[in-house]
Structure 1
Amino acid sequence: MAQDPLCLLCVEPSFPGRLGAVTDWLVRTRGYRCWFASNRISPREFWPESVGRGLELLQYEVGGVAWEPSVPWTRSLERWFCHAHGVWELLEAQRPRPVDVVPARSSGLGSTLFVPGFDTRVPLVNLFDGYLHPRRNDLAEEVADGVASEPNMLREFDRDVSISNMIMRMKNDVICVVAGGGQVRRGLDLEHYGIDDAAVLLE
């Protein structure tokens, strides 16, 4: 079935970041048009070849704690709002149109928080990715074999599934996909508790 090429508004704190190669491919091979909103833009030698030929860069500004390379966790929310406000100001000033879909990766900075206010009809597809070392950053201390001593103290994958289910119960226009390896190794894993994460379906 033939379909006209889509117009994308990508949002990611860094360019090209994770979405740069994907948007470059869509522009070059599918004829898509893309605006890429970013705060930190890499030197030109790292840009994909479609920049200026269907892929247009838009740089948003940030202030406050967003200038700092890292902040204590107690100031994370403030930092997220700085990025979200920067994207909002850019969209209000530039008014990129038309936009069919907004692929985004906030990278833990909340940069897409106000994007739905820009155009409530446009779907927002957010990529949340992360990696935690299996024996660090847990909420509970671990015993030598890697099993959490308190099974109720959930690890990152568990939190992603739980939060996704909660969001989908609250909003009927949201779809969440949580992906892991064939079997995500965690405290309540297949080896120790007979639970296969690959078989967990979001409700």
Structure 2
Amino acid sequence: MAQDPLSILCIEPHFPGRLGATADWLVRKRGYRCRFYANTPEAREHWPAAVGQGLDLRVFGVGGVAREPAVAWSRTLERSLCYAYGCWEVVDADRPRPIDVVVGRSAGLGSSLFAPVAQPSAPVVNLFDYYLDPHRNDLAADDGPGASPIYTHWRRSAAAVELLDLENAALAWTPTHWQRSLFPAEYRDDLWVCHDGIDGRRFDRARRNGPRTVAGRTIPASSRIVTFVARSLDRVRGFDRFWNLARALMKARSDVVCVVVGDPVVHRGLDVTFNNRDYRAVLMERAPLNDVDRLFFLGKTPPETVAEVLSASDLHVALGRPYPVARSVLEAMAAGCVVLASDSPPYREVLDDGRTGLLVDPDDPDAVLRAALSAVDDPAAHRPLGEAAAERTRERYDQDVCLPRLADRLEELTNSRNGR
């Protein structure tokens, strides 16, 4: 073990992003000191509690193409280098000491790429989310056949930053085995699988007698609440499939209420057709709801509201394309929700059909509706699924299970560098 709590330097384009919760846990539970460098911090209501209490946030700027709100795919590498250089400028000017280890998130932007120039003695640990295949996963099947050559060529080169970060890392780390399987065989064996976990303390399935309240709205106990949660409402996360299911459910049952959390504007370059567009408005025009009063859009909400929504949910829908499973799915499991998800490899890694959730072919609307109706028709019969999902989350995906493993690896890496 290290003689003293580690001092770590975290780098991610956005804060809190993915590493914010990890840094918060390491500070609170292990006594680490953390300097977190990010380009775009979210509103303070989304910040973890440790900010200012051992977790210090530093914002770095970027220049050139990185400042543009929409960047052509062909300029992705240039944009990534702008982020990495902007971060290096601030780290080099600050010269924070001591730094035992650098923890970065590649996220297609490689912001930790130049960190060794400013911190040559600190090993770099990189978190990898996704290795983009030119022809498979995410929306490749939906958009690939009719996409422009510019887009298809970009997909063939988009993983360049991940390859640079893989070469730069003393430890390459990814959350799931499915995510690991996406990477080239030359790197796959060196990728360490460890989920960064969720904060299970935020979720409580205790039901109160009488009406439930979601974001200030009172919902009768007799209603069936169906939920969807994502950072933005896009096709990668299956919002189009949820929309069609919601329309069918509200037509079939007058007591169904749907609650949606997420930014209606698509913020994912992978969604070439709808990026930077209000996708909710697009769907509203293409397939209007038969009862708009029973679908609540909460927009982007703080973590406390997400927990409230999931704790009230009777059925949580996650019909996403093949892509890393959203944290909100694990949070729904932790809240004891019955989760209806796509029967695809990323979801099969975290859910077992009929034991901890319901897996369906997302391209079979009739099968999706049957599964959803079975859950809302008889919540009591399906409650064991939610209870088993919550237990699985406690055993495999809670921060207090996952992050001690990460802390141990960080300390082993630092000790070996220091000859301890």
Q: Would you say same fold, with TM above 0.5?
A: yes
Alpha-carbon distance in structure 2 between the residues aligned to 1:28 and 1:55 = 9
Gaps of 5+ in 1: 143-154, 186-196
Give the CA deviation at 1:121: 1.2
* More relative contact order, 1 or 2 (CA 8 Å, 6+ apart): 1
Q: Does 1:123 align with 2:123?
A: yes
Q: Does 1:137 align with 2:140?
A: yes
Q: TM-score, normalised by structure 1?
A: 0.69
For 1:82, the equivalent position in structure 2 comes to 82
Picking from 177, 182, 197, the partner of 1:180 is 177
Alpha-carbon distance in structure 2 between the residues aligned to 1:104 and 1:175 = 11
Helix, strand or coil: the match of 1:126?
A: strand
Cα distance change on mapping 1:76 and 1:4 into 2, 3 Å: same
For 2:12, the equivalent position in structure 1 comes to 12
1:23-38 maps to which residues of 2 (within 5 A)? 23-38=23-38
Cα distance change on mapping 1:136 and 1:118 into 2, 3 Å: same
Alpha-carbon distance in structure 2 between the residues aligned to 1:11 and 1:2 = 22
| Runs of 4+ deviating beyond 3 Å | 173-179, 181-185, 200-203
For 2:366, the equivalent position in structure 1 comes to none
Gaps of 5+ in 2: 146-154, 192-420
Give the CA deviation at 1:58: 0.5
Alpha-carbon distance in structure 2 between the residues aligned to 1:176 and 1:46 = 27
Helix, strand or coil: the match of 1:103?
A: strand
Q: Counterpart amino acid of 2:80?
A: W
Cα distance change on mapping 1:100 and 1:15 into 2, 3 Å: same
Alpha-carbon distance in structure 2 between the residues aligned to 1:28 and 1:183 = 29
Q: What do the CA deviations read for 1:151-202 (whole angstroms, capped 9, x no partner)?
A: xxxx99xx89xx69x95xxx9x8454565239969xxxxxxxxxxx9xx745
Alpha-carbon distance in structure 2 between the residues aligned to 1:115 and 1:62 = 15
Cα distance change on mapping 1:100 and 1:76 into 2, 3 Å: same
Alpha-carbon distance in structure 1 between the residues aligned to 2:62 and 2:8 = 22
Q: Counterpart amino acid of 1:5?
A: P
Equivalences, count: 167
Give the CA deviation at 1:128: 1.4
Helix, strand or coil: the match of 1:181?
A: helix
Helix, strand or coil: the match of 1:37?
A: strand
> Which is richer in strand?
2
Cα distance change on mapping 1:2 and 1:113 into 2, 3 Å: closer
Q: TM-score, normalised by structure 2?
A: 0.35
For 1:40, the equivalent position in structure 2 comes to 40
Q: Counterpart amino acid of 1:30?
A: R
Contact 2:9–2:36 under 8 Å retained in 1: yes
Contact 2:125–2:170 under 8 Å retained in 1: no
Alpha-carbon distance in structure 1 between the residues aligned to 2:171 and 2:139 = 30
Helix, strand or coil: the match of 2:22?
A: helix
For 2:321, the equivalent position in structure 1 comes to none
Cα distance change on mapping 1:88 and 1:17 into 2, 3 Å: same
1:96-111 maps to which residues of 2 (within 5 A)? 96-111=96-111
Q: Counterpart amino acid of 2:177?
A: G
Q: What do the CA deviations read for 1:29-63 (whole angstroms, capped 9, x no partner)?
A: 11100000000011111111110010000100011
Q: What do the CA deviations read for 1:67-92 (whole angstroms, capped 9, x no partner)?
A: 12331222112111111111111012
Helix, strand or coil: the match of 1:34?
A: strand
For 2:325, the equivalent position in structure 1 comes to none
Give the CA deviation at 1:5: 0.4
